[in-house]
Structure 1
């Protein structure tokens, strides 16, 4: 949860700027709901890029910007928040089969790996599953897809601070399984962008079905199912991150209809810009994925970015395809049961 000091500061800065929550949402790209939750102190601690977007929109000078960030930090670092589970999404949608598999992941000593491309909803899935499993769940962000991944000692220290009070340990965003601590007796769920063979039961997460995409869009926007909703879902590649970004884009543009959004997303050269709203950004997520690829995989991206592959390139699925393809050109095999993320 955000601290009450942070909530009060954000509310005060917004009022001093003579902005409504909606106006701040439009200017910052952060959703109205997220701003409302932060000002009431009921949301998870905002990510750094969200803080920066809000500070930029509010026009804060360096001192006020620093004070706002400092107000958020105590909530992030408080002992009671060590390995705290992120907030579950109130509009979590779909994934029935995966949730059924993860129900078994709560058994003591079990190890499960949820893997899939960026933005497919791995973290949201395991957090939602954890709320349905008896016992205390603990969450560690390993930051494997960031320029500064957590060192094994840091991960081990955070787990040690929790001790034996944790029944389910979630290790989120793991890139390199080497050095991961052994959690004796605990159930462990790992999320990763890539398969991690040999670590436990594997659950490959794919983009939503059409029906799941429609349910999520209608739940967030309140718009009924229609051809325009399905068009938006298609332009988003049924990727949960892209769907949420599109829905939030509509939320901060109340004058737009679903048809307007579908029409704008149909313009491929504008699509990635429209699918970046505050801390929801398809472009940033896949840019980080590309930065982490090997030279061979980066070469594969360019080879795959050919006529007929435009949709894949725009939405970034090409990064995951490139990973599988690069394995084949460097001696690995893609014929090992892994499905491409567009099935």
Structure 2
């Protein structure tokens, strides 16, 4: 290309783009490249784009001939070698020079280099394939000028016995061998007075030799040792540095994650334009997430870029991990062999736990793991075996107390579980444990501990869903049916309506097809779950059918009867038949009273809904009395859910009576409780109510913000909201019209768009001061 332009491509491209008045996103769209590609070129992390990339950029920027010449001249000739990221340009004698750059490890290199300035024995620990060796080489290169006698690398992977470790060190430092004395003495004599960094790579299978390493460090004052191992050495003086997978989350500015940068770098070495289309970004991000940012998995996947575009690679990830570059060590040419190496270092109980842990989804706790292991018939000490898995980096221990496997490791564990013939027993034990958890937690959704109950189930909703789906697939209908009954209120509060409805209806459909179906009461309860989810999704007719079926199958159970009759009352309320609705709610109250403590929740809500009927009939005083009765019951049980339903109705009643101060207090209390439970559907109604109140108070600028936030909330839920609320649409329309007239159409619409971008807490803050 001739002489390159001073300053290089990165600053020139940035100046040309800014002169054209384009953002990186706009230039990406015009040129057909990805935002990541533009960002990498402007940051200088990609310095040698291909000619067709430069032509696309020149056309998109509308460059003159002189500008095109400068752009092409800013690129160094291909074949020039760029220095590895954050590594000295010259590799110290004795260290191999990797053929690919180190990506995404700048901070790790700095931190480990700093550790070596204060510690004499540092261990890089982490799962197989996380890049410990590459990091160690980069660190050794970075700090080599601190050591007058350089760096010595000892590759331990081929060794089989602890006694070979010191012999390998002796060979690496050229210590003489004397059969008449200990190898350690010869190494100490050789290294005495020398300043050396000794890198011991892949020590996980030779941990028994750790005492000899410590003895060497103690005997040679100016020696420092950097080891890599899937498990720490667990010796005095050791500083462990846990090497984490690369972050797979795209950066806030939309640019590629460190994991994506590695994937793109390696893939573009075999397919230069791979991943550069803007339409590739989602698939690239999904690949990185599926592979949990594990560098080896990303390298193996990238090797298939020659024949697979990002979307196709995502669809074929499992097969892509079965082969890799021939220059990798044999133990790393596939993820399976890498993980087999780690698994082979464990004792039998730990290997059993590896397999069992594959049945969990999204992590678990030690207590849950122990319970499932017990149900599966395990006889080993789970906590001891788990400690071994954490030490060998097969399981990640989180600060919260939960443990999880990286997804490639979890898939490996699931494969082992199937291959060993243990899958069915493990899945049954897993389902039994999480069914028990769901049923133990369910009563708390109606009590003061509902927030902690919701949080507990949030952590294991993935495990509960997996338990239900696997049981359903294995023709066990009772487990998913009981899970649906235990979780329907959780699903309602968390907005998982479609998920809950699909599972409940799938169980009922399978029951209808089965000659050996479910107990009648179980059918009734599952139908109640399906009805509630359908109603939350505005499917009133579907909900009506399920509530009727629940009534038929569960008429002898007062709890089921109370819920099914109250549900039919909600259907009548939604259809505007107030006479029928009132009769059904009063019947539900009678069933709830007969049910005792279990019926208290439905008793309270039926009173609130009777209040709604009275309000719609123009009798706000009676509405207040009925809603207050429901609120007293809810407050006595510290039940936030029933409380804010009552408070919404009281807000409407006080608004109808013209008492804006009382209405405001009810609204503020409802907002506070809705935020505590995270009930977005309820919050949407309160946002609308706040808009009406803001208009009445002359706070016109708040009205579009609140209405916009309510719209966005409902869209995120995929439904209009709760059919048991009867908001006054004319009041909302009047508030909108009043605000629009005061603000003007453009200002109102701009504020409406702003409101749609508000988070729940921001929107709620406006309600609190309404």
* Shorter-chain TM-score range: 0.5 to 0.7
Give the counterpart of 1:192 among 194, 206, 229.
229
Cα deviation per residue 1:59-107 (whole Å; 9 max; x = unaligned)?
xxxxxxxxxxxxxxxxxxxxxxxx9212235321112332122222443
**What displacement does 1:285 show?**
0.9
Asked if the contact 1:116–1:122 (Cα under 8 Å) also holds between the matched residues in 2, the reply is yes
| Aligned counterparts, 1:77-96, within 5 A | 84-96=94-106
Shift of 1:143: 2.1
Stretch of structure 1 that moved more, 200-209 or 158-167? 158-167
CA RMSD of aligned residues (A): 3.6
Alignment partners' CA distance in 1, 2:386 and 2:309: 50
Is 1:139 paired with 2:153?
yes
What is the DSSP-based 3-state SS (H/G/I as helix, E as strand, rest coil) of the residue aligned with 2:212?
Answer: coil
2:262 aligned partner: 216
Aligned to 1:236: 291
Q: 1:98 to 1:331 in 2, by over 3 A?
A: closer
SS in 1 for 2:174: helix
Instruction: Give, in angstroms, the shift of residue 247 of structure 1.
Output: 0.9
Alignment of 1:95-134 (within 5 A): 95-107=105-117, 110-133=120-143, 134=145
Q: What is the TM-score normalised by the length of structure 2?
A: 0.28
Pair 188,263 (structure 1): closer, same or farther in 2 beyond 3 Å: same
In the TM superposition, what is the alpha-carbon distance from 1:334 to its structure 2 partner? 9.3
Equivalent position SS for 1:249: coil
- Residue 198 of structure 2: SS of its match in structure 1? strand
Q: Which whole-Å CA distance do the structure 2 matches of 1:283 and 1:335 have between them?
A: 19
Matched residue of 2:211: which SS? coil
Partner of 1:170: 199
**Cα contact 1:276–1:282 (8 A) shared by 2:** no
2:315 to 238, 244, 263: 263
Shift of 1:299: 1.2
The 1:201–1:262 alpha-carbon spacing in structure 2 relative to 1, beyond 3 Å, is same
Q: Which moved more, 1:158-167 or 1:199-208?
A: 158-167
Alpha carbons 2:94, 2:153 under 8 Å: kept: yes
- TM value normalised by structure 1: 0.60
Give distance in 2, aligned partners of 1:238 and 1:331: 23
3-state DSSP class of the match of 1:190? Answer: strand
Q: Which residue does the alignment assign to 2:165?
A: 152
3-state SS of paired residue (2:102): coil
SS in 2 for 1:178: helix
Structure 1 runs of 4+ aligned residues shifted over 3 Å read 105-109, 146-150, 162-166, 307-310, 329-343
Residue 219 to residue 124, structure 1, CA distance change in 2 (3 Å): same
Q: Secondary structure at the match of 2:308?
A: coil
Matched residues, number: 241
Equivalent of 1:201 in 239, 253, 257: 239
Structure 1 residue 338, shift from structure 2 partner:
5.3
Tell which has more relative contact order, 1 or 2 (C-alpha 8 A, sep 6+). Answer: 1
The 8 Å contact of residues 114 and 190 in structure 1, kept in 2 or not, is answered as yes
* Inter-partner Cα distance in structure 2 for 1:272 and 1:331: 26
Separation of aligned partners in 2, 1:169 and 1:331? 31
SS at match of 1:179: helix
Deviation at 1:166, TM superposition (A): 5.8
Q: Distance in 2 between matches of 1:327 and 1:294?
A: 13
Query: How much does 1:291 deviate?
Result: 1.2
| Counterpart contact for 1:113–1:200, Cα < 8 Å | yes
Q: Check the 8 A contact 1:116/1:204 in 2, yes or no.
A: yes
Task: Give the Cα separation in 2 of the matches to 1:215 and 1:239.
Answer: 13
Q: How far apart are residue 151 of structure 1 and its match?
A: 1.3
* Displacement after TM superposition at 1:255 (Å): 3.8
In 1: Cα distance, 2:321 partner to 2:387 partner: 32
- Equivalent residue for 2:302? 247
Deviates more, 1:204-213 or 1:131-140: 131-140
1:179 has 2:232 as partner: no
Q: What is the CA–CA distance in structure 1 between the aligned matches of 2:288 and 2:406, rounded to whole Å?
A: 14
Which residue, 273, 281, 290 being the options, matches 2:334?
A: 281
User: Aligned partners of 1:118, 1:204: CA distance in 2, in Å?
Assistant: 12
Instruction: Tell me if the contact between 1:232 and 1:262 (Cα under 8 Å) persists in the aligned partners.
Output: yes
